[in-house]
Amino acid sequence: MIPDCDLRLDSCADPVRVNSTMPDNDNAVDKPEEACGVFGIYAPGQEVAKLTYFGLYALQHRGQESAGIATFEGRQLHEHRDMGLVSHVFNPEILAGLPGALAIGHTRYSTTGSSRRCNAQPVIVDTKLGQLALAHNGNLVNTTQLREYLVDRGCEPTTTIDSEMIALIIREEVNAGKSWVEATISACRLCIGAFSLTIATPDGIMAIRDPYGIRPLVLGIMPDHVSHYVVASETCALDIIGADYERDVKPGELLWIDKGGVTAIDWAPKAQPKLCIFEMIYFARPDSWVHEESLYSYRMRLGKQLAAESLVDADIVIGVPDSGIPAAIGFSEASGIPYAEGLIKNRYVGRTFIQPTQEMRESGIRMKLNPLRDVLKGKRVIVIDDSIVRGTTSRKLVKALRDAGATEIHMRISSPPVTHPCFYGIDTDTQDQLIAATKSVAEIAAQIGVDTLAYLSWEGMLAATNQDPNNFCSACFTGDYPVEIPDGVKKSKLMLEMGLIN
């Protein structure tokens, strides 16, 4: 039994309101939202807080709610985390107060409405071997069981986040006499779901992926210091600090990085790759590399396959910035229809304390995307986007394009219809809110107001990877979940299958 379960997180009792009012459903985010990004660095002789800052800066697209860094200076841990963007949470003075040669960092995605500082990471716990800091990307599906496991052993978690459960179980195993690596493996074997972790200890850092590798994690080396190692959710975080990509952390693998170098341990011998296909389609940055190529190249192939499956006569092809642009260029190349920029994105639109007028809310798409009238006027337009989740944004977008003078609008989606929610670290609506779960393609086309609508086929999406199609999780399109979902968790989102709605 652990006598002291002090966890270094703030109370969750007082939420920090980002907006004074909750947005109505028609103005809710109409894209799946990623959970977070993780980063870790081991660089003896260097101060690594600033490098960690830039690594998180490159991973900002994976989460905008909160950011945090924990460093070790010898056996002394220093940490800072807060709500907001990486550039807002840290400044030179704060980074100067985070000395040390090894660090981990975390950036968390933004939920609608209230945000809570207690959910900011890294999670910090005390153990017999010293303090431990943990950053987590993914989502466990057995959090309730893990909480009961801890409570039975006299350790009462202070939050409901699954990341805390992992850290506390590692703590318990360390206090029972196991090493950092042994304790972490024991904890991971109790966890069910998706987890890519970076963990900092006074003696080294760890990088771990779940047995399916649902969330990405890569290893890099600083070229001028072969004993300096970096781990991150994506290769773009290596590029920004000048690290060279070495390899992916394998599904079911733990890397222990210390003064002896990198020790690789296959802790889940029955590991089977199931990388989230939405990482390929949308979440990861297009300049990040997966399977020895940039995701820009894959997304262009999606567009080419989309043109092969659902070509229509038109004057121009445009992409919905930013994620729809590579597929739009691929569609244009394959079809011979000219590509044009028809939408300009305001890259500085974020959350605001100032509520727009109702008239602005009704035409809210223009706050983020503004049509180019002289490009669109009198044109038959093919619009390429990566997904449609609820349909609200698509409807506003189509109206804005028609107001700008487009005579025909043919929407093409570079992924299949999203019919099932995700349980592995992507924030999607309950099933009844997913437009493709309750409506046919023709009904969706009528609702969003396009002349025609077509989605990429599931087979085409997987074929474009040029990889074994069995190595991806595509449950949001098929309902075939690689990790079994407990009934209680299913009921929270699978409302149609569970018969919870009329």
Which amino acid belongs to residue 117?
R
Cβ neighbors of 87 (< 8 A, separation 6 or more) are: 57
SS3 content of the chain, % helix, strand, coil (to 5): 30, 25, 40
Q: Answer yes or no: are the C-beta atoms of 2 and 154 closer than 8 Å.
A: yes
CA distance readout (Å), 25 to 15, 30, 387, 417: 21, 10, 18, 20
Which amino acid belongs to residue 144?
T
CA distance readout (Å), 379 to 339, 340, 356, 373: 12, 11, 31, 10
Give the long-range contacts of residues 141-149, CB within 8 A, separation 24 or more: 141/192, 141/193, 141/423, 141/424, 141/483, 141/484, 141/485, 141/486, 141/489, 142/190, 142/191, 142/192, 142/193, 142/486, 144/486, 144/488, 145/486, 146/190, 146/191, 149/190
Q: Which of 36, 118, 188, 191 is catalytic?
A: 36
Which amino acid belongs to residue 157?
P
Three-state helix/strand/coil letters over 240-293: CCCCEEEEECCCCEEEEEECCEEEEEECCCCCCCCEEHHHHHHHCCCCCEECCE
Three-state helix/strand/coil letters over 3-51: CCCCECCCCCCCCEECCCCCCCHHHCCCCCEECEEEEEEECCCCCCHHH
d(CA 334, CA 348) in angstroms, rounded, equals: 33
For CA atoms 79, 82, 86, 88, give the dihedral sign.
negative
Backbone phi, psi, residue 411, to 5°: -95, 135
d(CA 145, CA 153) in angstroms, rounded, equals: 13
36 is catalytic: yes
* Spatial CA neighbour of 221 closest among 246, 240, 201, 239: 246
Which amino acid belongs to residue 240?
I
Q: Answer yes or no: are the C-beta atoms of 341 and 371 closer than 8 Å.
A: no
- In Å, the largest CA–CA distance within the chain is 73
* Cis peptide bond N-terminal to 122, omega within 30: yes
d(CA 132, CA 435) in angstroms, rounded, equals: 43
Token pair for 97 = 């107060």
d(CA 232, CA 37) in angstroms, rounded, equals: 8
Would you please indicate which residues are annotated as catalytic (active-site) residues? 36
